[in-house]
Amino acid sequence: MTPVYKLSDSRSLTGTATYYSSMLAGNAVYAPQSYYLLETNVLPGAATSVEFTNLNTYASDYKHLQIRIAAGAGGSGATNRLRITVNSSDANLRGHKVGGVGSGSMFSSTATPYGGSMVISDRVDVSGTSVFIIDIVDFGSTNKAKVFKTFEGCLDSSEPFVAMGSTLWNSTSALTNILFGVGNTAIDSTGFTSGSRFSLYGLKA
């Protein structure tokens, strides 16, 4: 079979061109991307909760998840805790946190579920925005528990807050959904303000 030649420019085979036997020769190296925006939700109005569902459908393509949140809360004061459920339950959740409010001493705390959900942050700003970056490592694994790494901050003039946390979902089940809500002792009607943004990203291995 006569081979197909890819010429470096438009000239005849009898010219002084460079000959390649592969159509791929000379092409730029293909560098596949590894960080993908999967879903984003910018609230068109106030909402009691925000949920990412069917997360298990991403497990075949992505190794880790990241959730970026910039949100405000209704209500006021220190009762606006960010709370989560995983797979529609508060079961098997535990958390640890170190943080500070800009005065006094740093604090460290633990979190356990109550009221049907678990606190993942102590402060969602009522007069502006709180920001959160949550990394879920190996979210699709069905032979290990899942760990969420959080980094958060709020510059509410009355209740500023910065913290780093770790949340364990002690289950080998597939992660299917995560729900975020606001409340002191349970997710209540406080909710998130219009314009709050929740973005989900997938990271390939």
Which residues of the shown chain bind another protein in the complex (CB under 8 A)?
33-38, 40, 61, 68, 70, 98-106, 128-131, 133, 151-155, 160-164, 195, 197, 199, 201-202
Q: Output the smallest distance, CB 165 to another protein, in A.
A: 11
Rounded to an integer, what distance in angstroms lies between the CA atom of residue 177 and that of residue 147?
15
Q: Output the smallest distance, CB 160 to another protein, in A.
A: 5
State which residue, 88 or 108, has the beta carbon closest to another protein.
108
Q: Output the smallest distance, CB 153 to another protein, in A.
A: 2
**Distance set, CA 69 to CA 26, 41, 88 (Å):** 43, 10, 20
State which residue, 147 or 155, has the beta carbon closest to another protein.
155
Q: Output the smallest distance, CB 52 to another protein, in A.
A: 14
- CB neighbour list of residue 153: distance below 8 Å, 6 or more residues apart: 130, 131, 161, 162, 163
State which residue, 77 or 100, has the beta carbon closest to another protein.
100
Selection from 37, 67, 55, 59 nearest residue 180 by Cα:
67
State which residue, 22 or 61, has the beta carbon closest to another protein.
61
What residues pair up with 82 in beta bridges, in sequence order? 121, 182
Q: Output the smallest distance, CB 39 to another protein, in A.
A: 9
Rounded to an integer, what distance in angstroms lies between the CA atom of residue 153 and that of residue 131?
6
**Distance set, CA 47 to CA 11, 120, 148 (Å):** 65, 18, 24
Handedness of CA 58, 59, 62, 65 (dihedral sign): positive
State which residue, 65 or 187, has the beta carbon closest to another protein.
65
Selection from 153, 134, 131 nearest residue 200 by Cα:
134
Q: Output the smallest distance, CB 106 to another protein, in A.
A: 4
What residue has token string 């049907």? 116
State which residue, 71 or 119, has the beta carbon closest to another protein.
71
